Amino acid sequence: MTTGPGDYADRVLDVVDRIPPGRVLTYGDVAELLGSGGPRQVGRVMATDGAAVAWWRVLRADGRHIERLQSRALEHFRVEGTPLLSGPGGFRVDLRAARWMPPPGLLGTW
DNA sequence: GTGCTGACACAGG
DNA sequence: ACCTGTGCCAGCA
């Protein structure tokens, strides 16, 4: 089928949309889930269209966002009860506990 | 066409 | 925990 340029962004947003509250994925996870593109591509999509979805549920591999978004993400995490770890630079998401394991077969529908 | 930039990841020091 | 360099790929000037 026609794989238009806009499809990638749509698929990224679609995945992000499925992340349950209190759970998270890294940019790399999303890219691997899609089977195409890479962390930077996912990041680019989020920077452009992230406002339309729960952007805070997609974070860097170290469990943090870029400094500019940290404070805003924290509010969401507190509300959703996302597992957090306190650290020197502030906080970071406990990826070991919060990383979302997508149910097998979920991607088969595409 | 060329080069810089970016909501990244990973290895080194 | 910090900073730096390298690999990655797409968008933009």
The tens digit of pLDDT for each residue in A61-73 reads 999 999 999 999 9
Question: CB under 7 Å from any atom of strand C: which residues?
Answer: A 5, 37-41, 44, 87-89
SS (H, E, C) A54-97: CHHHEECCCCCCCHHHHHHHHHHHHHHCCCEEEECCEEEECHHH
pTM of full prediction above 0.85: yes
Distance between the alpha carbon (CA) of A32 and the C1' atom of B5, Å = 23
Mind listing the pLDDT tens digit for each residue in A48-94? 999 999 999 999 999 999 999 999 999 999 999 999 998 778 899 99
Nucleotide nearest to A26 (CA to C1'): B8
Q: Are A55 and A16 in contact (CB under 8 A)?
A: yes
Mean pLDDT for all residues in chain A = 89
**What is the model's pLDDT at position A6?**
56
* Chain B positions with a protein C-beta closer than 7 Å: 6-10
CA A28 remoteness from chain centre: 9
